[in-house]
Structure 1
Amino acid sequence: MARSKTPSFVTEISLKVDSKQEKELSSRFQAARQLYNACLNEALVRMNLVKNSELYQQAKKLRGGDKKKRQDLFNKARETHRLSDYALKTFATQTANRSKWISSNLGAHEKQTIGTRAFKAVDRILFGQAKKVRFKVTTRFKSVEGQSNATGIRFINNQVLWKKLILNPIIDWNNPVIVHGLNSPIKYCRILWRNLNGKKRWFIQLINEGLPYQKPQNYVIKGIVGLDVNIAAVAFVADKKAGLLPFAEKVPTFEREIKALQRKMQRSQRMHNPDNFEPDFDKKVGNRIVRKKGKVKKGKKQWIKTKNYRRIQVRKAELERRKASYAKSQNRKLVNEILRHGNQIKTERVSIKGWQKIYGKAISAKSPGYFQSELKRKAENAGGYFLTFSTQTTALSQTHLDGTRIKKKLSERVHRDVTGIQPMHRDLFSAFLSRCVYNNKLSLWDAQCEYPGTEPFLLDGWQQSQSANRVAERESRNSYSSSEQMSNEALTSNQISQKDYKLEGNA
């Protein structure tokens, strides 16, 4: 049954699950996982047969002109070895029906969607979009979905029905987002679980037909917005507004807590797996000799993970989840703020992966890649576009209004134009120039015409960012001084109590 191509959105609701229901759900997810791995293995076998076939090799040699003949050969190779969505659906159904346990746990629609899921995973390798696939272990298989709301996993009368299993959702009727999803037509449903603070929580996702609920404050207008993205902030220039906005402001990194937990995990591993590590050694550091821990031995090995180790692992994973969740929430607010000024986005094509290699922790805490993907999705859904252009052909950070290019160091954050205009923040000026890029080329004439009218709110945006930075510095200074004062007071009270104790002892 082919799914319709109408617009869709997801409404997620948590489920109230008791121990008996959780046991049943876990059993069904285990059956789905085993079926998925079987389908994935079969898809890999068929993919290798396709790659080794003569038709596929002939198609690879046809470069350039005859695209239709090349595509026909590829399609014929896939048909010959039955590598298609329909064929994998059939295989999933036949495999499940041969197992009485899998067939009793899964419906016809769930079996077919598992076959489609395995086909899509392998298809990405065939088209060069992925290098490998993963066979799922229990902790990595987290969702099962149907094909329609008519049978299989259904949401009817505010209840989740899956065969004989009935689950009650926890519905917040005061939440307009949830109410909008419940009142919209449902295409199909998906059940999934997540680990929250070490506990398994179950959710139902309703894939609704139509457009998602739009909060009144998150309106979108038509207009061009130029962006300049760096690792910590984004500069934007719209038709009547400009600003410098930080990514994931005040994100809790939990760096000290995570490092402490990592040290505990390392000590536990070294204590219970001494044969997996090389012996400790002495190393001269400056004028002293330091005892260094041995590295992990090469090769495959068995690891003993104690209950305490797994408990610490859960605590660390929870801190990482909270950090990522906060960063996503803040970046969504940032996306909504930019779309309030325009839905036609222009920005340089930057390599987030390259930044990750240089600024690993900063990128993981701020998530500029997620910001860009979310902005692209929302801008296109609002009828706009997300246009990226080459940094080599435009070189916006080096370009002046008369076309002169002068390289700057990364530490130089102020742009002083050779034409004599007022100094401007480097990122704001680059964001302004990006508004005037067409077909990967900067139109200097448009930039020169627009700049006099744009300069006032560019300066205003720079001034607002400076005042915001001063407020943030003042708050951090005050919080540090207050914490220091509290520690001093605690120390003083401790000294007084010790003095009183001594006096009482003498008395």
Structure 2
Amino acid sequence: MASKNVSSTKKERTPSSVHELRLLVSKTEYKELIKLQDLGRILYNACLGESLRRLKLVKQDKFYKETIAIKKDTPENKKLRSDNFKFLNEKYGFKNSSIQSFAVKCKNESKFLDQLGVHVVQKIATTAFKAVQKVALGKAKKVRFKRKGELVSLEGKNNTTFLRYSNGYALIKDLTIKCKLRKNDKCFEHFLKHRIKYCRLVSRKFKNKYKFFLQVVYEGYPYQKVKLGDSHTSIDIGPSTIAKVNDKEATLKRFCEDIVFSHKEIAKLQRKASRKLRLANPQNYTEGGAVKKGAKNWIKTNEYLKLQNKISDKQRRLAYHRKQLHGEEINLIISQSWKVSAEKLSYKAFQKLWGKSIASFAPSQFVNRLKDKIKLLGGEFQEINTFKTKLSQTCVCGNIKKKSLKDRYHHCDCGISMQRDLFSAYLGLFVTKSNSLSTKKALKNYKNYEPILNKCIEDLKVLKKNNPQKIVSSFGI
């Protein structure tokens, strides 16, 4: 018989988007969904433990220690190391497919895990393996097992088995649960036109109860409410402020200025919860008030648990409001711009200096969302190298002078005086693709942009008289 050459080709990757639907569950369905997600937690912990065990066996092998000693100075050595690690992973079963087989075996041999679908079990195993793999590659220090009460999301591989969506209903195991549909929802209408890849069951805690959502992952791009503008916009983001400059307008304002600050209230509740925990567990504390080292049993009273629910609910509301404000600002910038320029900043350094502000406003999350959205629409996002351009120190005349953080205005001997953040955002418009600042173009165009920048300053001065709470000291107004 003639042998046939079968070419194994990988499936083409297609874009994916998510549409989320709220599930309207009864008491019986609520209990069943809680049970299924808790079973997912048990299986996740089992896969996590097995992955760690296999990783330990790999590291104990003498061949592993010899491989680690090989230097990565040449391509041959790099390939040798890679081949050796593949051999060890194969030998001890430290790979995704092996952990998936372990999870399926657990499902088949267990009296209760068999309630989960095979695809769901495989996805849980993959999540656990990837968590341990990060430790193996040095990208994480340790993994965290899920405690009782922490629910795990369940995810399928297609829209035909165990977890699926059909005609306004979520079909989970043998349950048929109605989804909450909004009238005239353009995002929903857009999603219905595309092929469904798979579904995901997600739960979120609201006060002391869970609400369930079905995330439908479909093929294609998400529905877009805004279109690209025709301007080039440059932004300068600080810990709590944002400056924006383009050929139409310039703005300087508090970042997420409408956000409701509940940090003081949260801190007050946390102190109260800490006192409740201390009173109920005096045996776990030293005479000085510090928590004793080692394993401990904690007694958590009903009052303590109620306080914890209040704290988590306030934090959830704060995060949701922040995300909403981020979206509004992103849509405004994109509606004006075909290109956005922003400095590439170290937000980890920001956290060390201004931890509370970064936790409140999440500028890194904002920049990442803006970058993804403008690229999705076919626009351009330029990341400016701060070390090469030195926008906060440079003038349009080419003079470079260091400023301390307390200096909120840019003053130069050439006669230019402008608010520091606005001036940095203006200079960002003239950074080339090679990350060099074209001071000639910045000087040539400054006369056209100066009235726009001055108008922004005048508006801020008027705002300070009428509503001083919206003015931050870092404005220098």
Secondary structure in structure 2 of the residue aligned to 1:192:
strand
Q: Deviations over 1:337-389 (max 9, x none)?
A: 22223243332222222222232222222221221221122122223344434
1:334 deviation in Å? 1.4
Q: Deviations over 1:114-162 (max 9, x none)?
A: 1221222222223333222111123333310100112220101211112
Task: Say if 2:201 is the partner of 1:201.
Answer: no
| 1:50-449 mapped onto 2 (5 Å cutoff) | 50-53=58-61, 54=63, 57-58=66-67, 61-66=70-75, 67-103=78-114, 105-215=115-225, 218-221=226-229, 224-279=232-287, 294-421=289-416, 423-438=417-432, 439-449=434-444
Q: Deviations over 1:298-335 (max 9, x none)?
A: 44432221111111111121111111211121122112
1:59 deviation in Å? 6.2
Q: Deviations over 1:188-231 (max 9, x none)?
A: 1001111112211111111121111112xx32236543221101
Q: Percent identity?
A: 36
1:180 deviation in Å? 2.4
Q: Deviations over 1:435-465 (max 9, x none)?
A: 3334343232332333333333233333344
Secondary structure in structure 2 of the residue aligned to 1:311:
helix
Task: Indicate if the aligned counterparts of 1:55 and 1:76 stay in contact, CA closer than 8 A.
Answer: no
1:462 to 437, 442, 457: 457
Label 1:86 to 1:386 Cα distance change in 2 as closer, same or farther (>3 A): farther
Label 1:464 to 1:71 Cα distance change in 2 as closer, same or farther (>3 A): farther
Q: Partner letter of residue 345 of structure 1?
A: V
Aligned to 2:475: none
Q: Deviations over 1:5-24 (max 9, x none)?
A: 21111111111111111121
Label 1:60 to 1:433 Cα distance change in 2 as closer, same or farther (>3 A): farther
Aligned to 1:288: none
CA–CA distance in structure 1, aligned partners of residues 74 and 244 of structure 2 = 43
Aligned to 1:28: 36
Label 1:304 to 1:55 Cα distance change in 2 as closer, same or farther (>3 A): closer
CA–CA distance in structure 2, aligned partners of residues 401 and 263 of structure 1 = 51
Aligned to 1:496: none
CA–CA distance in structure 1, aligned partners of residues 379 and 90 of structure 2 = 39
Task: Say if 2:18 is the partner of 1:10.
Answer: yes
CA–CA distance in structure 2, aligned partners of residues 375 and 449 of structure 1 = 29
Equivalenced residue count is: 459
CA RMSD of aligned residues (A): 2.6
Task: Indicate if the aligned counterparts of 1:401 and 1:417 stay in contact, CA closer than 8 A.
Answer: no
CA–CA distance in structure 2, aligned partners of residues 234 and 310 of structure 1 = 38
CA–CA distance in structure 2, aligned partners of residues 50 and 128 of structure 1 = 15
CA–CA distance in structure 2, aligned partners of residues 416 and 140 of structure 1 = 55
Aligned to 2:53: 45
Q: Partner letter of residue 394 of structure 2?
A: T
CA–CA distance in structure 2, aligned partners of residues 307 and 255 of structure 1 = 23
1:51 deviation in Å? 4.2
Q: Partner letter of residue 248 of structure 1?
A: C
CA–CA distance in structure 2, aligned partners of residues 188 and 399 of structure 1 = 52
Secondary structure in structure 2 of the residue aligned to 1:340:
helix
1:99 deviation in Å? 1.2
Q: Partner letter of residue 188 of structure 1?
A: Y
1:239 deviation in Å? 4.4
Moved more, 170-179 or 440-449: 440-449
CA–CA distance in structure 2, aligned partners of residues 132 and 331 of structure 1 = 32
CA–CA distance in structure 1, aligned partners of residues 85 and 65 of structure 2 = 6
CA–CA distance in structure 1, aligned partners of residues 317 and 268 of structure 2 = 17
Moved more, 123-132 or 372-381: 123-132
CA–CA distance in structure 2, aligned partners of residues 454 and 263 of structure 1 = 51
Label 1:4 to 1:132 Cα distance change in 2 as closer, same or farther (>3 A): farther
Q: Any stretches of 5+ residues in structure 1 without a counterpart?
A: 281-293, 477-507
Q: Partner letter of residue 134 of structure 2?
A: R
Label 1:437 to 1:163 Cα distance change in 2 as closer, same or farther (>3 A): same
Q: Partner letter of residue 391 of structure 2?
A: L
Q: Partner letter of residue 434 of structure 1?
A: G
1:466 deviation in Å? 4.1
Label 1:460 to 1:71 Cα distance change in 2 as closer, same or farther (>3 A): farther
Label 1:73 to 1:295 Cα distance change in 2 as closer, same or farther (>3 A): closer
Q: Partner letter of residue 32 of structure 2?
A: E
1:181 deviation in Å? 2.4
Q: Deviations over 1:39-80 (max 9, x none)?
A: 122222333344455267436623233144444444344333
TM-score (norm 2): 0.88
Moved more, 391-400 or 178-187: 178-187
Q: Any stretches of 5+ residues in structure 2 without a counterpart?
A: 1-8, 472-477
Task: Indicate if the aligned counterparts of 1:343 and 1:382 stay in contact, CA closer than 8 A.
Answer: no
CA–CA distance in structure 1, aligned partners of residues 428 and 137 of structure 2 = 33
Label 1:116 to 1:299 Cα distance change in 2 as closer, same or farther (>3 A): closer
1:174 deviation in Å? 2.7
Larger Rg: 1
Secondary structure in structure 2 of the residue aligned to 1:250:
coil
